[in-house]
Structure 1
Amino acid sequence: MNIVVLIKQVPDTYSERKLRDADGVLDRDGSDAVLDEINERAVEAALQLKEAEGGSDSTVTVLTMGPDRATDAIRKALSMGADAAVHLSDEALAGSDAVATAKALAKAVGTVGGVDLVLAGNEASDGRGGAMAAMLGELLGLPSLTHAQEITVSGGEVTVRRATDEGITVLTTSLPAIVSVNEKINEPRYPSFKGIMAAKKKPVTTLTLADAGIDASEVGLAAALTTVTSASPKPPKSAGEKIEDEGDGGARIAAYLVGQKLI
């Protein structure tokens, strides 16, 4: 089975994130960058599927779109156990919105060849769009099963379980297909020293727009269907109201909560 896992390097959620003043695009150089945590779970899911098949007949390829520094995220995935990587990197991609990103990734997936299953996180921590898997399914003409908490592959079909407000939903479709996972599917493994060293020798294919057959007019900030017109930092947190108990503290707290319409 040939599995492709979409990964993304994102600003660390523990660092300060801000938009650039010039164009309203996320300032990715202004904070530490890490492999998105739900993407890590997608990589782990792919590795578990490979191991369930015995390993020798399955290949896990990670694919990312991003600048040169995204190689750090690639190496993290390779050190976890992925076999190879594809890095779509071109300055013309900067500022691409979700639709343009989906079009570019669809082209990049097509360069891998013989793909049976595409795995992705259901959303990334920098955008929270939550629609990439569905858009890729539309562009590639493949069924997409989203928000999976459990994945099994058998007899040319993939089955996922996901939780809904009504209970557990089980979905099955034939391969090839696209599946997105959520944060409850697994706990990603830590790369071992052996895995880190092995990652340095694994193949990484770098693609430009021309290599992937992507039209430059369809990507980048100029082609984006959405635009940030203005942005401002959130106001500093104001001090709360301090109540000193002089025998009527409980009543005063209750009155405050009523005034805030909390009770």
Structure 2
Amino acid sequence: MTPIGELVRGKKGLIVGIANEGSIAFGCGRVLHRLGAELAVTYLNAKAEKWVRPLAEELASPIIMPLDVEVPGELDAVFAAIARQWGKLDFVIHSIAFAPRDDLHGRVVDVSREGFEQAMRVSCYSLIEMTRAAEPLMAAGGTILTMSYYGAEKVLDNYNIMGPVKAALESTTRYLAHELGQKGIRLHALSPGPLKTRAAGGIAGFDELLSQAAARAPQGRVVTIDEVGQVAAFLISDAATGMTGNTIYVDAGYHIMG
């Protein structure tokens, strides 16, 4: 059987969502870089650049650009740069999510319209935009991965409005997989267990959630960002060409517990 590394080596992909060295997106990038993939990396804004650029350079990224999906033109600029430099794209890792703090910490029934729309815009609609931009660059097929969480399926304390948003993201992934399947473009949502990322720090009571997940998971622990990256590498590789439209749990078995 061909090793995964040989099935990933030389593939060119975009990683969106690295904030620091603890980001799931960085774990994915680190694994893919080790396997020989070439990576374009984005950072949110000038403030984030000082943290992300050194990580992108560690990944030997030839394309390092700003991308805030709420800023008109930035997403188009990133894909235009990829088209100029590579002329193709083999994969995209979409690992961004956001909800305003007050809306995230409040009840779903109390969420503001503006907060809901922003959470959906950043966390879900941006996947549609990136898929649309990637489609013409994936003439030979490709893989698009996004990041979800178990709160999309079950009600979890303090996950609040991000539960419905992530549920929409998972459904969107399935519909995009259906629409693009005959073009050889595959989509999946990865659902890691709780990880101590910068984004997770915005969830109230997250440390307690983390310890509870470790205690309940069959493996008695939480996963690492590199373990998520290893699953991402498999899905991006040609070993997974028969799979699309799935929500894939990488959570030490936490999701099977009643």
TM-score by length of 2: 0.39
Q: Higher helix fraction: Structure 1 or Structure 2?
A: 2
